[in-house]
């Protein structure tokens, strides 16, 4: 008797939906608490706390609806055999257009075109509501409906431009790979990731945002001095116009070897009125580079990618696997999709482990910034970002442990007190308690 792959996948999907919904309920209850966490009392204003609380509750309610609709659609697609039905329809479309329906590449591209259209249609209502209702209600959305659809159109064009050659290459490799298929697939994805990491900031990102050099001044001088002191090969320092779409703030760095670049969102510069706070945030990010966190993460992704392809090679010719999902043929792309569904349990475990590692890296980067002398400025910057982005103040322990790649600010504060000697109260108004803590830390 063949193993019931489809039933097992559906069972685990539903189990994970209820498990994650339970965590969401716990988080929703935490968000509804009306008191600030003790470490943030006297640091975050009551007005900011209430705004963050309302924003987080709105997003939480929206998340419940989105996840419920998603699990219903995904379950229906698998249970009612819509996937094999759509594969046949896409093949008929290829034949109707007078093309070779037996050509797996043409058939696959037709299938993916239909999937892209379906995804755009089903995702659009949620994207519109999230952007123009929730984000706008809380003062974050800055983009017009025209800009929204222009970005969507650009994304579709990029998919049409980049998707076919990538899919064609994968199908060709699987057809010709032989016993070293996993190595060839991994090598191709590795090369592709390097190419995309190189081209994205140069050719793709500028299609959506405007990147301008950070003007000469004290902020630029401080960042360049910091980079030079760490021997960080900074070549370019940009400001991106994130404010054209959202009030959320961010900063990141990219580039290979001796060609590194740092990008600051204009909203980050606007929110952190003290330039030292911006430099402290950059010091934290440079800590990730100096401590090789970026390299470790990249290596981990490559190892996981190779293991996934290795697992795929073991089941790609399994007739029982394809038949369980309603297929009487064994298309390469469909095999990859089905395999991804069958290893969902492992993916959840891996993601949980990666989040644990990521939170550890964040604490280490904080400690690195403290050693550079940015303790108070980093503290002030983190609190400012928490306030301005209306991030959740109260978080459930189980929810954050499972989902968060970054520690909640309250957890970060405890680590700051014990290992960084940075206390949020130091960054508060000139209260008597803050001054006492500061004197204690300096001693």
How many H-runs (helices) and E-runs (strands) does the chain carry? 18, 4
Strand partners, 265: 240
403 annotated to a ligand binding site: no
What value, to the nearest 5°, has the Cα angle with vertex 247 and ends 242 and 251? 50
Q: Is 366 a catalytic residue?
A: yes
Q: Is 47 a catalytic residue?
A: no
Q: For 180, phi and psi rounded to 5 degrees?
A: -105, 25
Given the residues 285, 388, 396, 413, the one annotated as active site: 285
What value, to the nearest 5°, has the Cα angle with vertex 85 and ends 84 and 88? 90
Helices 104-129/145-176 angle, 10° precision: 150
DSSP per-residue string spanning 295-306:
HHHHHHHHHHHH
288 annotated to a ligand binding site: yes
Those residues whose C-beta lies under 8 Å from the C-beta of residue 362, and which sit 6 or more positions away, are 406, 407, 412
Given the residues 104, 135, 366, 413, the one annotated as active site: 366
How far are the Cα atoms of 6, 20, 85, 312 from residue 10, in angstroms, in the given order? 6, 15, 18, 19
CB 367 within 8 A of CB 116: no
284 annotated to a ligand binding site: yes
CA separation for the pair 353, 363 (Å, rounded): 16
Sign of CA dihedral 269, 272, 274, 278: negative
Please give the annotated binding residues for Zn(2+), written as ranges. Answer: 284, 288, 362
Write out the catalytic residue numbers. 285, 366
**Residues annotated in a binding site:** 284, 288, 362
């Amino acid at each position: 008797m063949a193993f019931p792959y489809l039933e097992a996948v559906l069972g685990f999907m539903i189990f994970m939906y209820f498990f994650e919904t339970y965590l969401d309920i716990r988080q929703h209850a935490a968000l509804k608490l009306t008191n600030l966490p003790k470490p943030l009392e006297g640091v975050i204003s009551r007005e900011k706390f209430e705004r963050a609380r309302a924003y987080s509750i709105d997003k939480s309610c929206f998340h419940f609806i989105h996840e419920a609709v998603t699990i219903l659609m995904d379950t229906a697609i698998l249970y009612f055999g819509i996937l094999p039905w759509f594969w046949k329809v896409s093949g008929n479309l290829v034949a109707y257009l007078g093309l070779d329906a037996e050509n797996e590449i043409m058939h696959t591209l037709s299938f993916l075109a239909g999937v892209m259209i379906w995804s755009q249609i089903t995702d659009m209502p949620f994207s519109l509501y999230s952007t123009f209702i929730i984000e706008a209600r809380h003062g974050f959305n800055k983009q017009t409906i025209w800009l929204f659809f222009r970005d969507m159109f650009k994304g579709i064009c990029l998919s049409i431009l980049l998707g076919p050659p990538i899919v064609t290459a994968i199908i060709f490799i699987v057809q010709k790979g032989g016993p070293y298929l996993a190595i060839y697939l991994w090598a191709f994805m590795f090369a592709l990731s390097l190419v995309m990491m190189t081209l994205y900031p140069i050719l793709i990102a500028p299609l959506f945002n405007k990147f301008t050099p950070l003007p000469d001044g004290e902020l630029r001088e401080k960042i360049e001095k910091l980079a030079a002191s760490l021997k960080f090969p900074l070549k370019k320092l940009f400001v991106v116009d994130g404010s054209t779409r959202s009030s959320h703030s961010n900063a990141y760095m990219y580039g290979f070897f001796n060609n590194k670049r740092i990008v600051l969102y204009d909203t980050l510069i606007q929110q952190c009125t003290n330039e030292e706070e911006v430099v402290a945030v950059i010091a934290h990010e440079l800590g990730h580079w100096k401590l090789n966190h970026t390299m470790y993460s990249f290596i981990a992704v490559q190892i996981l990618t190779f293991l996934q392809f290795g697992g795929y090679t073991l089941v790609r010719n399994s007739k029982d696997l394809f038949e369980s999902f309603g297929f009487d043929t064994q298309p390469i792309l469909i095999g990859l999709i089905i395999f991804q569904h069958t290893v969902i349990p492992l993916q959840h475990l891996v993601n949980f482990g990666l989040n644990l590692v990521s939170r550890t890296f964040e604490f280490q980067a904080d400690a690195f910034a403290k050693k550079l002398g940015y303790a108070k400025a980093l503290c002030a910057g983190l609190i400012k970002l928490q306030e301005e982005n209306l991030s959740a103040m109260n978080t459930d322990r189980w929810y954050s442990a499972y989902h968060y790649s970054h520690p909640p600010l309250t957890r970060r504060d405890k680590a700051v007190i014990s290992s960084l000697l940075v206390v949020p109260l130091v960054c508060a108004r000139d209260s008597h308690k803050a001054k006492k803590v500061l004197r204690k830390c300096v001693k």
